[in-house]
Amino acid sequence: MRPTTRHKRPLGDISVLYIAVMARAIRAEGKDPTDLLERFGLDEQSLGAPEARISIPRFMRMGQAAITLTSNPAFGLTMGQLSRPVDAGLAGLAAQSAPTAGEAINTLVHYALLTSRNSRGAPWTANGGREAHFYSIKPYNVFNFFVVDSVLAAWTQFLKIITGRDRVIERVAIEYPSQGQDEVFEEWFGCPVRFGTEGNSLRLAPGITEIPSLQSQGAMFEKLSRECQRELARIRAGWSTGDRVKDLLPPLLQGDTPTLAAMAEKLGVAPWTLQRQLAEENTGFRELMDETRRELAVEYIRETRTSLSEIAWLLGFANPAAFHKAWRRWFETSPGEHRKQYLAEQVAKGIR
């Protein structure tokens, strides 16, 4: 029995708007992105469909391919440098028209789900909008360093555009360990950059949040914000209680087995209410957890180079042996065997 592909991508997905930025950055590095796009089943025409999305793991692999093509390990910074508010879709247009830089970055982050979804959670702002935080897939490897770089750099570039200032960030924190590019990053961001931290974040320079946006337009901000809210509601409207549970499960699984009570608290309902709602949908919390683990396991095995022991931890299994046992129950093979066969198929297709 072979793993099947679920319509929703368990590790998250991202708009092709960001692939268009990647192609632009490749050209800026003096290379042609055509072959790279074709290798991943894309072309220039497909990049003009804002509703189209690709999985985050595929985006990660494309980024690594772009780094290889351009020979620039800090390629994510180039992407950030060339990002425009419109590249964040409706959220970017709403954000740039906000009254102040603080409201602008809050808007950009708050509506990030309109163009990207991450299994670890949504980005958020803190300290009155002075800090912007971003999740990425863990554990880190060569495939997902650039995702963090490109997001933090794009947020920084956005602030530079709407304020007209070069120094908008006071401090940058990056979760993955230093890759020997510290000076390059500090020069680009114009502030200290710490690697190996507990999370990814930007801290805005003092006074930046209060600066009026150069592109502020009150009426358009209200109109576009309402559009963003309606679109966000539309995305979530079709979610059942089970969908909401599965959306929240991935980060809770890491190194643990979440309980029904913990999930109910996340959803803001009583445990018995959650149990009843799931029963009405002919499912249960344990079934949803097993389904989520199975779907995530397929994504991790196929789309990342994460070790089997790390995958076991990410899925909340007590040990690698428990993960192996679950995989055999799901697919009647071993995870290692499936990864080997899948990668061979991808090489044969010229994708890897």
- As a whole number, the mean pLDDT across the chain is 90
Considering only residues 113 and 201, tell me which one the structure prediction assigns the higher pLDDT: 201
Q: Say which amino acid occupies 235.
A: I
pLDDT digits (tens, 9 = 90+) for 14-63: 999 999 999 999 999 999 999 999 988 888 778 877 778 888 888 988 99
Res 51: pLDDT: 79
Q: How confident is the model at residue 10 (pLDDT cuts 50, 70, 90)?
A: confident
Say if residues 253 and 294 touch (Cβ distance below 8 Å): no
Q: What is the pTM of this model?
A: 0.81
Res 350: pLDDT: 64
Say if residues 1 and 45 touch (Cβ distance below 8 Å): no
Our measurement of the distance from residue 171's CA atom to the centroid of its chain's CA atoms, rounded to an integer in Å, reads 21
Domain ranges of the chain: 12-234, 240-348
CB atoms within 10 A of CB 134: 24
| Whole-angstrom distance, CA of residue 242 vs CA of residue 287 | 10
Sign of CA dihedral 201, 207, 210, 211: negative
Res 144: pLDDT: 83
Burial class (CB in 10 A: 0-12, 13-18, 19+), 18: buried
Per mean pLDDT, which range of 71-75, 160-164, 229-233 is the poorest? 229-233
Question: What percent of the chain lies above the pLDDT cut of 70?
Answer: 96
Q: How confident is the model at residue 2 (pLDDT cuts 50, 70, 90)?
A: very low
Q: Say which amino acid occupies 221.
A: F
Task: Name the CATH superfamily for 240-348.
Answer: Homeodomain-like (1.10.10.60)
Ramachandran angles phi, psi of 64, nearest 5°: -65, -40
Q: How confident is the model at residue 3 (pLDDT cuts 50, 70, 90)?
A: very low
Q: What is the mean pLDDT of residues 195-222?
A: 96
